[in-house]
């Protein structure tokens, strides 16, 4: 699991380059492998974080896309959907400029960092996406109902009634800004502010759309189908660019961030990419050895029980776990053995067990 670079360095998201450099020096000094109490893994992680955050371009890309799985970039061009992952999959060296890859869990919802840069844009939306265990494991499609602002179809987002169009604002002549001159004791003071007539938009609507009342967007329930990549885990996020709130009067829509929630499964549990199950086996099989059927995601599999297997023993079925989200292969299935101690014994069974007891078993 990739750690957050800001957390690694112990700096705020808005930290300056100087603060980042300073934090890096302190941390690098603290964890240097040559020092007593040093930690080379930690040192490497800090170094990696610094390589990204100290480079303004890489940092911006990290801020923007971080470790989000960006679905929108997958849609369209690639008809094969998620089958089209680059064969080599994820490598340790991530080129943040090439987002044709999946990243693991992303840090929060962005804290509004990008909002300030793009003022006239619909808001981002965060929502949870419940999927079942199997869909998380093998991928698939999940439909979701979402109430959000969408572009008004009547005015195509312009906000102007059909047959009319927004007109250039008479107050600011389209610039969206007005100059004000105030007389003060220090003389004339000039300031620039948003135009009070058009609120900075540069256009006004004389005949507002009857459906959206000039907003260019309306609240609507929409059904979205989301592609789920195989191996995704609870807490990871899927980003759908442009599926957030529609912008006012035709400005770009925000993004939709879906946090995956995995519904509990009656049989399987998950630990990273391993699947955990409990198998209850007869006392005789535990003692003498044998083969029992165990449920896996691929159906029943015969599991060899070595003679003398104690309760609580964990046996591993290789490659029957969750497909790795990054790259090829699957995790394992780990089977915890439980013993089936009979509650009702036939007379014969009782007699045989007593004989065993006499043997000291
Ligand atoms: Zn409209
Ligand atoms: Zn104006």
In a domain, 5, yes or no: no
Residues 140 and 243 in one domain: yes
Structural domain boundaries enclosing 171 = 167-204
Q: What percent of the chain has pLDDT over 70?
A: 84
**Could you give the CA distance from residue 245 to residue 255 in angstroms, rounded to a whole number?**
7
In a domain, 329, yes or no: yes
The stretch 71-97 carries a mean pLDDT of 33
Q: Which residues contact 88 (CB under 8 A, 6 or more apart)?
A: 327
Residue 230's domain is classified under what CATH number?
2.60.260.20
Residues 62 and 186 in one domain: no
- Residue 241: HSE in the Cβ half-sphere, 13 Å Cα cutoff: 12
Residues 217 and 119 in one domain: yes
226-256 b/e with 16+ CB inside 10 Å = b?
Answer: bbbbbbbbbebbbbbeebbbbbbbbbebbbb
- 218 CA to centre of ligand 1 in angstroms: 8
- 176 CA to centre of ligand 2 in angstroms: 5
Residues 63 and 210 in one domain: yes
Question: How does residue 313 score in pLDDT terms, banded at 50, 70 and 90?
Answer: very high
In a domain, 221, yes or no: yes
By C-alpha distance, which of 88, 125, 163 is closest to 259? Answer: 125
- 223 CA to centre of ligand 1 in angstroms: 21
- 249 CA to centre of ligand 2 in angstroms: 15
By C-alpha distance, which of 69, 88, 57 is closest to 2? Answer: 69
The stretch 213-237 carries a mean pLDDT of 93
In this structure, which ligand is nearest to the CA of 178? 2
In this structure, which ligand is nearest to the CA of 176? 2
Tokens of 191: 């300031």
pLDDT greater at residue 69 or residue 154: 154
pLDDT, residue 85, reads 31
In a domain, 10, yes or no: no
- 249 CA to centre of ligand 1 in angstroms: 8
**Could you give the CA distance from residue 238 to residue 68 in angstroms, rounded to a whole number?**
6
Q: Which residues contact 110 (CB under 8 A, 6 or more apart)?
A: 63, 124, 257
- The 3-class SS string of 144-172 reads EEEEEEEECCCCCCCCECCCCCCEECCCC
In a domain, 179, yes or no: yes
- 211 CA to centre of ligand 2 in angstroms: 24
**Could you give the CA distance from residue 25 to residue 47 in angstroms, rounded to a whole number?**
10
Tokens of 55: 């480079």
**Could you give the CA distance from residue 265 to residue 168 in angstroms, rounded to a whole number?**
59
Residue 87: pLDDT above 60?
A: no
**In the beta sheet, which residues pair with residue 336?**
278, 314
Is the Cα dihedral 94, 99, 103, 107 positive or negative? positive
pLDDT digits (tens, 9 = 90+) for 62-82: 777 664 544 444 333 333 333
- 160 CA to centre of ligand 1 in angstroms: 7
In a domain, 247, yes or no: yes
Residues 233 and 353 in one domain: no
Q: Which secondary structure element, helix H or strand E, spans residue 224, and what is its range? A: strand 217-228
How many residues does this entry show for the chain?
A: 361
In this structure, which ligand is nearest to the CA of 207? 1
Residue 186: pLDDT above 80?
A: no
- 225 CA to centre of ligand 2 in angstroms: 40
Window from 114-118, 209-213, 309-313, 319-323 with minimum mean pLDDT: 114-118
CB-CB neighbours of 55 under 10 Å: 14
By C-alpha distance, which of 2, 142, 90 is closest to 324? Answer: 90
pLDDT digits (tens, 9 = 90+) for 123-151: 999 999 999 999 999 999 999 999 999 99
- 214 CA to centre of ligand 2 in angstroms: 16
What is the overall mean pLDDT for the chain? 82
pLDDT digits (tens, 9 = 90+) for 234-265: 999 999 999 999 999 888 999 999 999 999 99
pLDDT, residue 113, reads 32
Residues 103 and 236 in one domain: yes
**Could you give the CA distance from residue 50 to residue 53 in angstroms, rounded to a whole number?**
5
In a domain, 257, yes or no: yes
Contact (CB, 8 A) for 221 and 146: yes
- 264 CA to centre of ligand 1 in angstroms: 43
- 280 CA to centre of ligand 1 in angstroms: 63
Residue 191: pLDDT above 70?
A: yes
pLDDT, residue 2, reads 56
- 255 CA to centre of ligand 2 in angstroms: 28
Residues 72 and 186 in one domain: no
- 309 CA to centre of ligand 1 in angstroms: 71
In a domain, 91, yes or no: yes
Residue 55: pLDDT above 50?
A: yes
pTM over 0.75: no
pLDDT, residue 65, reads 64
The stretch 75-95 carries a mean pLDDT of 31
pLDDT, residue 273, reads 95
In this structure, which ligand is nearest to the CA of 201? 2
């Amino acid at each position: 699991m990739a750690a957050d670079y800001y957390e690694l360095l112990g700096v705020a998201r808005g930290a300056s380059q100087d603060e980042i450099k300073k934090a890096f020096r302190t941390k690098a000094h603290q964890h240097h492998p040559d020092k007593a109490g040093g930690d080379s893994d930690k040192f490497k992680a800090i170094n990696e974080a610094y390589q990204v955050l100290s480079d303004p371009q890489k940092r911006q890309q990290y801020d923007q896309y971080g470790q989000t799985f960006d679905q929108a970039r997958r849609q369209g061009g690639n008809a094969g959907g998620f089958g089209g992952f680059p064969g080599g999959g994820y490598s340790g060296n991530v080129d943040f400029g090439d987002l044709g890859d999946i990243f693991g869990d992303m840090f929060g919802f962005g804290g509004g960092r990008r909002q300030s840069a793009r003022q006239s844009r619909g808001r981002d939306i965060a929502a949870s996406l419940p999927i079942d265990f199997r869909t998380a494991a093998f991928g698939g499609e999940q439909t979701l109902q979402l109430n959000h602002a969408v572009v008004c179809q009547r005015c195509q987002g312009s906000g102007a009634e059909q047959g009319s169009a927004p007109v250039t604002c008479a107050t600011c002549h389209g610039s969206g800004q007005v100059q004000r001159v105030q007389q003060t004791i220090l003389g004339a003071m000039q300031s620039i502010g948003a135009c009070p007539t058009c609120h900075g938009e540069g256009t006004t609507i004389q005949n507002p759309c009857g459906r959206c009342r000039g907003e260019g967007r309306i609240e609507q329930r929409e059904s979205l189908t989301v592609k789920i990549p195989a191996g995704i885990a609870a807490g990871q996020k899927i980003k759908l660019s442009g599926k957030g709130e529609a912008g006012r009067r035709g400005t770009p829509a925000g993004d939709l961030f879906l946090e995956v929630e995995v519904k509990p499964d009656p049989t399987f549990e998950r630990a990273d990419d391993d699947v955990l199950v409990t198998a209850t086996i007869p006392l005789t099989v535990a003692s003498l050895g044998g083969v029992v059927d165990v449920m896996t995601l691929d159906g029943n599999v015969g599991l060899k029980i070595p003679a003398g297997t104690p309760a609580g023993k964990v046996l591993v079925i290789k490659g029957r776990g969750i497909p790795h989200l990054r790259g090829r292969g699957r995790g394992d299935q780990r089977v915890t053995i439980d013993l089936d101690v009979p509650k009702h014994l036939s007379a014969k069974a009782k007699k045989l067990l007593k004989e065993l007891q006499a043997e000291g078993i």
